[in-house]
């Protein structure tokens, strides 16, 4: 039976729509964690300092959207002004973000330290692993485009790859829809990725599978 009280309050998470998650004190709390729905008041706190080469978890969704907007601008500039030298810079940015979050990425640091505080947007925390997976896809796109142009002189196909990246990053920047995160969640539901990769996401995938089995999804 779902329960409330101090053991559930200790989770410090407000979740919607309702489901059940085991509480620290035993029993179940009336919560469900959506991969894109960490509460805005939940700070990314860890008991110890994160290693340098790690990805933030949770991550501010609005920061990710502004970074995606920066990627779109860089990719559009590359194609419109025929400046392929921007592609390896983009590839570096994605590799840096996958490896160490915003720490080694000038674009992410600008958004995190300057742009976000300046515009004062609300904070919305989401799980980090799906975003890291999405950034890994960005690595594949930008590295492929760079190799096509500089390695084989295939500028047209390279720009075609960038156009696909513009579409995916544009969805996140404008609509907040993370295509890479969506694929990540699908793979978790299919069992391709183990629950240990993102336990917060696993709660949601289990709930979705149960609802689908009951014909209520």
Q: Is 42 helix (H, G, I), strand (E, B) or coil?
A: coil
Question: Can you read off the two tokens belonging to residue 168?
Answer: 């995916």
Q: Is 123 helix (H, G, I), strand (E, B) or coil?
A: coil
Residue-wise pLDDT tens digits, 118-177: 998 778 888 999 999 999 999 999 999 999 999 999 999 999 999 999 999 999 999 999
| pLDDT confidence of residue 211 | 55
The pLDDT of residue 69 is above 70: yes
Report the 10 Å Cβ neighbour count for 156. Answer: 9
Question: Can you read off the two tokens belonging to residue 88?
Answer: 């390896």
The pLDDT of residue 20 is above 90: no
Residue-wise pLDDT tens digits, 83-121: 999 999 999 999 999 999 999 999 999 999 999 999 987
Non-local (6+) Cβ contacts of 180 within 8 A are 130, 131, 133, 134, 135, 136, 137, 138, 168
The CA distance from 138 to 24, in Å, is 38
């Amino acid at each position: 039976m779902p329960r409330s009280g101090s053991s559930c309050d200790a989770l410090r998470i407000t979740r919607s729509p309702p489901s059940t998650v085991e509480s620290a004190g035993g029993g179940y709390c009336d919560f469900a964690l959506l991969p894109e729905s960490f509460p805005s008041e939940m700070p990314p706190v860890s008991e110890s300092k994160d290693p340098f080469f790690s990805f933030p978890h949770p991550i501010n969704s609005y920061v990710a959207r502004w970074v995606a907007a920066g990627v779109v601008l860089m990719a559009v500039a590359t194609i419109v002004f025929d400046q392929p030298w921007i592609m390896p810079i983009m590839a570096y940015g994605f590799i840096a973000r996958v490896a160490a979050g915003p720490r080694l990425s000038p674009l992410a640091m600008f958004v995190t330290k300057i742009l976000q505080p300046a515009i004062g947007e609300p904070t919305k925390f989401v799980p980090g692993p799906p975003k890291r997976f999405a950034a890994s896809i960005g690595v594949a796109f930008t590295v492929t485009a760079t190799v096509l142009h500089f390695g084989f002189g295939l500028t047209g196909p390279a720009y075609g790859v960038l156009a696909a990246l513009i579409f995916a990053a544009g969805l996140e920047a404008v609509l907040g829809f993370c295509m890479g995160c969506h694929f990540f969640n699908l793979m978790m539901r299919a069992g391709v990725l183990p629950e240990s990769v993102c336990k917060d996401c696993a709660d949601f995938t289990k709930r979705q599978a149960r609802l689908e089995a009951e014909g209520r999804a």
